[in-house]
Homo-oligomer: A and B are copies of this chain.
Amino acid sequence: MALPAPLHGVIPPVCTPLGPDGEVDTASLTRLVHHLLDGGVHALFALGSTSEVAYLTDAQRGTALETVLEAAAGRVPVLAGVIDTTTPRVLDHARTAAALGADALVATAPFYTRTHPREIAAHFHHLRAAVDLPLLAYDIPVAVHSKLAPELVRELAEDGTLAGLKDSSGDEGSLRRLLTALGGRTGRHRGPAPGFAVLTGSELTADAALLAGADGVVPGLGNVDPAAYVRLYDAARAGHWDRAAAEQERLVTLFAMVDAGPESEMGRSSAALGAFKAALHLLGVTAHGATAFPQRPLGERAVAEVARRLDAAGLLPEGPARGARHD
């Protein structure tokens, strides 16, 4: 399906539920997509960082994307992450995603290597030319260890290479400068780059990004409570900023579940992913809360803390954790 222009709204990066054997649990993934659609999300982002894309084999990536597409069934657009070190490898993923029916591609700058901005520009130009799908740039320095320069994004937006940006840089000042340069918060729409979508991956400041003129939000925590992000988004669109900020604050409190894992024994990625996946299990959405190898699992105490956070947020209304359901 065609993307709305611009792409907007709440677009969660869909977690990839795994079974005890480490394989994609397609039944749980289907339920998760339904959970997100029921929450009112506007699109889905499969195979992003929160989807543990870096831990999935090519076969597993295919299975996950196929499952999300099937479960979404055309009700909302599905974006597919095509995450790999450089252009030739990304292209392989892009062709697969296109063949499976993805509605848009999301690619980072090259990583592992040290790449010049002109080389990064060539990377995006080539991807766009080689596969006929809208292309979004994924700015995630914490993973790829380079920041997409705002001038580069603007250039690629204005020449039509990019249909959007998913900004997970955490650099809100830089994002504000980009938004302002692209016509500002009221400049309908994106001035010199018509239809260009600016999405933030900063799940703790979604209200601020929307106030600044962003089109949407890609919140990892949106897997757990998609409806809250939709309420936040709707309040923002209606200009009810205090309401949006109150929703955000509630989500910030819920987000503290990522501290449940013991930092001394887990990577920071593992702790956050582990908390989200434990929450989905506790909510009864997925059959298991496992993260991919070699990430260490959350211990019992950490899972209890996640449950406490869910409960405090009113997400566990029925008393005992519902996770048992699918075990």
A152 interface hit (Cβ, 8 Å): no
Taking the closest CB of chain B, its distance from the CB of A113, in whole angstroms, is: 5
Which residues of chain B have C-beta atoms less than 8 A from A111's C-beta? Answer: 111-112
A92 to B, closest residue via Cβ: B57
Point out the residue from B145, B180, B265 that lies within 8 Å of A253, measured CB to CB. B180
Taking the closest CB of chain B, its distance from the CB of A245, in whole angstroms, is: 5
Taking each of A83, A119, A144, A242, which has the highest tally of chain B beta carbons within 10 Å of its own beta carbon? A119
Q: Is the beta-carbon distance between A293 and B172 smaller than 8 angstroms?
A: no
A80 interface hit (Cβ, 8 Å): no
Binds B, one of A4-12, A120-128, A317-325: A120-128
A253 to B118, CA, bound (A): 26
Which residues of chain B have C-beta atoms less than 8 A from A184's C-beta? Answer: 249
Which residues of chain B have C-beta atoms less than 8 A from A252's C-beta? Answer: 176-177, 180
Q: Is the beta-carbon distance between A119 and B270 smaller than 8 angstroms?
A: yes
Q: Is the beta-carbon distance between A294 and B110 smaller than 8 angstroms?
A: yes
Q: Is the beta-carbon distance between B177 and A86 smaller than 8 angstroms?
A: no
- Produce 1/0 per residue, A262-295, CB < 8 A to B: 0001111110000000000000000000001111
Point out the residue from B83, B213, B245, B268 that lies within 8 Å of A212, measured CB to CB. B245
A266 to B, closest residue via Cβ: B116
A261 to B, closest residue via Cβ: B116
Binds B, one of A188-196, A203-211, A307-315: A203-211
| Interfacial residues of chain A within 128-177, with CB under 8 A of chain B in the complex | 142-145, 170-173, 176-177
Known interface pairs A55-B86, A116-B270; 10 further A-B residue pairs with C-beta atoms within 8 A, sorted by A's residue number: A49-B112, A54-B86, A58-B58, A111-B112, A118-B296, A172-B204, A177-B204, A185-B249, A208-B208, A211-B211
